[in-house]
Amino acid sequence: MGSRNVLHVTFVCTGNTCRSPMAEVIAGRIIAEKGIEHVTVGSAGSAAWPGDPASDGAREAAREAGLDLESHRSMPLTQEVVAASGLLLCMTGHHLRRCEELGGQGRSRLLTEMAGEEGRVDDPFGGSARVYRATFDQLVRLVGVVLDTVARDAESES
């Protein structure tokens, strides 16, 4: 395999305890299963406190799918995080605007729009296990579509 640039994708939500960490572990599994070597993933929150664990609901939804969020700790969205990201995938318009304010113009997208859908990924925080599972399932669908596109685009550029 020749030299290839690595694209770092950061998923962005509010507290970095529910949606973005679930998206990160979903993406990590897809990357491993498909052998995508030129994409790495992370997550951050536009209003996150550093070091908070993933929410109970997010950990349980991930666990039911065979994924592990036990070691996740929240990370605030900063200029440094934005600068290190080749693509910022946002759950809502608020997150998109915050990424752009921090220098992510041209690299920030709504996850739903990039997957060819309308709307946003609603915050399950405080919801029932069913709400978390529905959000997790939505993220599985969206992240799968987006990673296929990102991997295909990166292949055509190399």
The DSSP secondary structure of 37-83, one letter per residue, reads: -SEEEEEEETTPPTTPBPPHHHHHHHHHTT---TT-B--B--HHHHH
Question: Does residue 90 carry a catalytic annotation?
Answer: no
The DSSP secondary structure of 120-150, one letter per residue, reads: -----TT--HHHHHHHHHHHHHHHHHHHHHH
**Catalytic entry in 52, 122, 123, 148:** 123
Report the alpha-carbon distance of residue 56 to residue 52 in Å, rounded: 11
C-alpha closest to that of 39 among 132, 157, 128: 157
Question: Does residue 19 carry a catalytic annotation?
Answer: yes
**Catalytic entry in 19, 59, 98, 120:** 19
Report the alpha-carbon distance of residue 62 to residue 75 in Å, rounded: 19
Q: How many CB atoms lie within 10 A of CB 136?
A: 25
Report the alpha-carbon distance of residue 106 to residue 110 in Å, rounded: 12
Catalytic residues: 13, 19, 123
